[in-house]
Structure 1
Amino acid sequence: MKTTSPTVLVTGAAKRIGKQTATLLHQNGYNIVVHCNHSTDEADAFVSELNAMRSNSAKRVKADITKLDELQSLADNATAAFGRIDMLVNNASSFYPTPVNDVNEDVWDDLMGTNLKAPFFLIKNLLPELTKNKGNVVNMVDIHADRPLKDYPVYCMAKAGLVMLTKSLSRELAPNIRVNGIAPGAILWHENDLSEQDKKQVLSEIGLARLGSPEDIAEAILYMSKATYVTGQILAVDGGRSINGGSKA
């Protein structure tokens, strides 16, 4: 199916920030390729919602982004969905604590795979489309790429690598493709439970004294989609927390 409307692939788009990002880009005229791995029911329901708003404007693709062959299939299937790809949002990510003594090769491969390897190879596999369409990439980084989060060393290393990937590829792929990153702060309390005391500590470190929302991240990504003179930049969306420091979430 060939379309003249711009098309975006959002990885991990069935839930949370990925879903909100896809929703906002859809509202701004994009066709959406919704990627998922395990969350197929949620992804299918979301695609139905988007298609109810605008007919034939969303499709679902499934892939394990830690596997190189599935990354190639993901790129191929995403491109085939609407006949073009104009934007890639590398949102999918594994996130869980890994104290040093608990790290093994499976943990390393998962965290490095989802947070660093997958973004690189997806960009590589989509180069023909992104180049042809003067496209752009937005990588979901993290404020903890600069200020490590205790007990999350492998995750923080992977996100630090993603920062360098963003900056390096912005040079390698210019002038045809823009590559930028969004570094969220405390947006939603993550699934790895924090104590009430820890939550209070996090809020005390945020200049705006509140959590952000998925909408805040989606708005930043929408901005990057339109910012045709911005590349190689990491935009912190954290309520000022990276200025004040912080270590819990």
Structure 2
Amino acid sequence: MDKWALITGAAKRIGYCIAKQLHADGLNIIVHYSKSRNEAIALQSELNHIRPNSAQIMQAELNNQFELEKFVAMLKVKSLPISILINNAAEFYPTPLGNTDYQTAQQLLATNLLAPYLLAEQLAPFLKQHSGCIINLIDIHARRPLKDHGLYSISKAALEMATLSLAQELAPDIRVNGVAPGAILWPELSNDDSQQHVLAEIPLAKLGQAEDIAKLVSHLVGAPYISGQIIAVDGGRSAVGFTGA
């Protein structure tokens, strides 16, 4: 199989697991990274050891217009048969009301919304040639905002609408879906109290795994009649309602 999947933010965490899963499915992988160069190189080496010449790495700061345009231009020069776009890269940090500035808002919205949308738009001609698909990583907090993370929640809510819009605009040639993780990996600054509060709201009473997301992404890649869907992977949390705290 000479099909390539571009995964943004693929060097660590959920992106890393998605890259490993899709590679195991037979796809070749473009590992995009921002600052995690060492991790990206290690992943590239790992994948190429399994299947030679099946992984490449590319760096770009997706919240920067010039770098995003340069990144797309480099992809076009490579002329790889890209059939899958996984918009996984995201910024996540608190923005309490009263402490927000324009630059921070611009950075969050650029990374979490504009970059995925523009990548989908710019790469659509490539994806169309291969009956491709786009999968956006959203968040259950797109529908119930996370306290003190207003801009993050807004950006993910907008990405959910962008996913539905793209599914309409790019049909019938390209399928577009969204995956909305719940509590999968704890944020680096979370504490025991906040973790216990979240666990108490999850019907399955446990933290999810990055592999849970990767397996769903794998399924959606191979599901030719699913488009315009946002699927939560949250142990049932969004089905029963939660505080968003």
Please, what TM-score do these two structures have when normalized by structure 2? 0.96
Q: In structure 1, what is the equivalent of residue 229 of structure 2?
A: 233
- Amino acid aligned to 1:33: I
Within a 5 Å distance, the mapping from 1:33-44 to structure 2 comes to: 33-44=30-41
Question: Deviation at 1:194?
Answer: 2.6
Q: Return the match for 2:66 from 48, 60, 69.
A: 69
| Distance in structure 2 (CA, Å) of the matches to 1:121 and 1:233 | 20
Question: Deviation at 1:110?
Answer: 1.2
Is the aligned partner of 1:128 residue 2:125? yes
Q: 1:33-73, CA deviations, whole angstroms, 9 ceiling, x for partnerless residues?
A: 00001111110111001000000000000001012232233
| SS at 2:213 equivalent | helix
Asked if the contact 1:169/1:179 (under 8 Å) is kept, the reply is yes
Q: In structure 1, what is the equivalent of residue 83 of structure 2?
A: 86
Runs of 4+, deviation exceeding 4 Å: 79-82
Q: 1:8-45, CA deviations, whole angstroms, 9 ceiling, x for partnerless residues?
A: 00000000000000000000000000000111111011
Question: Deviation at 1:149?
Answer: 0.6
Q: In structure 1, what is the equivalent of residue 173 of structure 2?
A: 176
Q: In structure 2, what is the equivalent of residue 6 of structure 1?
A: 3
Question: Deviation at 1:248?
Answer: 5.2
| Distance in structure 2 (CA, Å) of the matches to 1:213 and 1:81 | 34
Question: Deviation at 1:82?
Answer: 6.3
Asked if the contact 1:11/1:34 (under 8 Å) is kept, the reply is yes
Q: Return the match for 1:114 from 108, 111, 114.
A: 111
| Distance in structure 1 (CA, Å) of the matches to 2:86 and 2:186 | 22
Question: Deviation at 1:124?
Answer: 1.2
Asked if the contact 1:33/1:81 (under 8 Å) is kept, the reply is no
Return 5+ residue gaps in structure 2 as ranges.
Answer: none
| SS at 1:102 equivalent | coil
Structure 1 residues 167, 224: closer, same or farther in 2, change over 3 A?
A: same
| SS at 2:212 equivalent | helix
- Amino acid aligned to 1:94: E
| Distance in structure 2 (CA, Å) of the matches to 1:79 and 1:173 | 19
Is the aligned partner of 1:207 residue 2:217? no
| SS at 1:151 equivalent | coil
| Distance in structure 2 (CA, Å) of the matches to 1:58 and 1:133 | 19
Q: Return the match for 2:48 from 48, 51, 55.
A: 51
Q: Return the match for 2:183 from 182, 186, 210.
A: 186
Question: Deviation at 1:106?
Answer: 1.4
| Distance in structure 1 (CA, Å) of the matches to 2:241 and 2:196 | 14
Answer with 123-132 or 156-165: which moved more.
Answer: 123-132
Q: In structure 1, what is the equivalent of residue 94 of structure 2?
A: 97
| Distance in structure 1 (CA, Å) of the matches to 2:146 and 2:10 | 25
Structure 1 residues 82, 215: closer, same or farther in 2, change over 3 A?
A: farther
Q: In structure 1, what is the equivalent of residue 213 of structure 2?
A: 217
Question: Deviation at 1:75?
Answer: 2.6
Asked if the contact 2:185/2:209 (under 8 Å) is kept, the reply is yes
Please, what TM-score do these two structures have when normalized by structure 1? 0.95
- Amino acid aligned to 1:166: T
The CA RMSD measured in Å over matched residues stands at: 1.3
- Amino acid aligned to 1:128: P
Asked if the contact 2:145/2:244 (under 8 Å) is kept, the reply is no
Q: Return the match for 1:32 from 29, 34, 38.
A: 29
